[in-house]
Amino acid sequence: MQISIPLLLELGIILAALSLLGALARRFALSPIPLYLLAGLALGEGGLAPVQAAGAFVETGAGIGVVLVLLVLGLEFTVPEFTVSLRRHLPSAVVDLVLNAAPGAVAGWLLGLDAAGVLALAGVTYISSSGIIARLLTDLRRMGNRETPAVLSVLVLEDFAMAAYLPLLAVVAAGGTWHQALLGVLLALGAVLAAFTVSYWWGHHLGRLLGHPEAEQLLLRVLGVTLIVAALAETVHVSAAVGAFLVGLSLTGETAQRAREVLSPLRDLFAAVFFLAIGLSVSPGTLLPVLPAALLLALVTAVTKVASGWYAARRDGAGGRGRLRAGTALIARGEFSIVIVGLVGVRHDRLGALVAAYVLLLAVAGPMITRFSSARLSSVTRRPRHGATPQ
């Protein structure tokens, strides 16, 4: 078997660099996600040190990374409790859609884009990054927080909405008829409903099927089934992340606990590759001309995401700090936005550059805002009032 020396060398350098960046972030109690994204920007086409040989591996690893992040996230919950949370947050999904799709649609109209471009930009500003946010919640140790189920419900409902949105966008971009668009939407929604029904009623059998006392067998079985389900989900235009999340929800008890233990190191590796890949997908030279428009759009939609997260957390009875944590956690955009631009094709080069700048801004700023806004609010609430005795 022929081993590519440039591939091994570039991967070694990439992993060593990610290790150093991760250690630096941990030193200052930060999430390493923004540093990974900036590293990808530096290593991408037009960056400081492009990595040609490792590009294909990073692109493939990125897809596996988001699947693993959502799989491990799903292992933290059970289907019944998450179903209750989803029903409670249907109004939150409507608020999220209205507040965050509207700015993108208005911006597309003002920029003179065609119908496909307007629809695409509305989707870009609407959908948060499940991969970034799921890892961020883990990094900041918020999985047990009261507002976290609200955040996850909004994310999953967004991914469900993408099941209807992506076929619609594909048909509009290709100049198809409304009959074709309606058929694609109905098929995708039917697939989502079927997958969730199977997970709810028969998912508990999956744990008995995949469970095994040997860690190697457990890892191979869970990962193999997850990748198959993720592939089937993508086939019917449902997010692979949703498929992985449903597999994680279906595993409970000791099987779920042991699966988390064996999968977590693998998740950390491929999640780092996923964040790196987002940066690699952006060419620095295309950013400057569209930076003012991207910055304005990022500011507006950061505020609207905070508002929608605040509303969702309030429905779960979270306090002011929890609502702020929920809102800021939803700011980051990422993988879906890149997919959306890919669907509308090369006719929208200006849109591609705008979205790349927009995604990079919020993918980097989102985790930083989440970390520092929460810390700032905590310090304010702990500060004793004038004349009061410190607690």
Report CA-CA distances (Å) from 11 to 54, 361, 375.
6, 26, 35
Query: Quick one: DSSP state of residue 111?
Result: T
Amino acid letter, residue 7: L
CB atoms within 10 A of CB 176: 15
- Identify whether the C-beta of residue 85 lies closer than 8 Å to the C-beta of residue 149: yes
Residue 199 has a pLDDT of 66
What are the structure tokens assigned to 62, written together?
């990125």
| Amino acid 263: pLDDT | 92
Q: What is the pTM of this model?
A: 0.75
Is residue 391 over pLDDT 50? no
Q: What is the reported pLDDT for 347?
A: 53
Residue 385: inside a domain: no
Please say whether the beta carbons of 326 and 313 come within 8 A: yes
Report d(CA 280, CA 183) in Å as an integer.
35
203 — pLDDT class (breaks 50, 70, 90): low
In a domain, 33, yes or no: yes
387: confidence class by pLDDT, cuts 50, 70, 90:
very low
Q: Who contacts 148 (Cβ-Cβ below 8 Å, separation ≥6)?
A: 137, 142, 326
- Per-residue pLDDT, 229: 87
Answer for the pair 74, 245: CB distance below 8 angstroms, yes or no: yes
Q: How confident is the model at residue 385, as a pLDDT?
A: 46
Q: Which residues of 286-298 are buried (b: 16+ CB within 10 A; e: fewer)?
A: bbeebbebbeebb
Whether the per-residue pLDDT at 99 is higher than 90: the answer is yes
In a domain, 388, yes or no: no
pLDDT above 80 for 276: yes
**Cβ-based neighbour number of residue 238 at 10 Å:** 25
d(CA 142, CA 145) in angstroms, rounded, equals: 5
φ and ψ at 347, to 5 degrees?
-70, -10
Say if residue 150's pLDDT is above 80: yes
Average pLDDT value over all residues in the chain = 81
Q: Specify the pLDDT at position 373.
A: 74
**387 within some domain:** no
How many alpha carbons fall within 13 Å on the CB side of residue 212? 12
Choice between 81 and 252, residue whose per-residue pLDDT is larger: 252
In sign, the C-alpha dihedral spanning 101, 102, 107, 110 is positive
pLDDT at 386 over 50: no
Residue 110 pLDDT class (50, 70, 90 cuts): very high
Cα 65 to Cα 223: distance, rounded to the nearest angstrom: 12
At 258, list the tokens.
């042991």
User: Is the CB of residue 249 less than 8 Å from the CB of residue 74?
Assistant: yes
The CATH number assigned to the domain holding 137 equals 1.20.1530.20
| Domain annotation covers residue 122 | yes
Domain count, the chain: 1
d(Cα 160, Cα 140) in Å, to the nearest integer? 26
Tell me what the mean pLDDT of segment 101-108 comes to: 94
Q: At which residue do the structure tokens 């985790």 appear?
A: 367
Q: Are 169 and 344 in contact (CB under 8 A)?
A: yes
For 218-256, how does the pLDDT look when each residue is reduced to its tens digit (9 = 90+)?
A: 999 999 999 998 888 777 666 677 778 878 877 877 888
Buried b (16+ CB within 10 A) or exposed e, 355-369: bbbbbbbbbbbbbbb
Q: How far apart are CA 289 and CA 116, in angstroms?
A: 22
**282 domain residue, yes or no:** yes
Structural domain boundaries, residue 208: 5-378
Ranges 191-200, 260-269, 361-370: which has the least confidence: 191-200
116 in a domain, yes or no?
Answer: yes
Is residue 391 in some structural domain?
Answer: no
Tens-digit pLDDT profile for residues 290-309: 889 999 999 999 999 999 99
Predicted local distance difference test score (pLDDT) of residue 105: 94
pLDDT digits (tens, 9 = 90+) for 321-334: 899 999 999 998 87
Q: Are 130 and 70 in contact (CB under 8 A)?
A: yes
Residues in contact with 295: Cβ distance below 8 Å, sequence separation at least 6, in sequence order: 357, 361
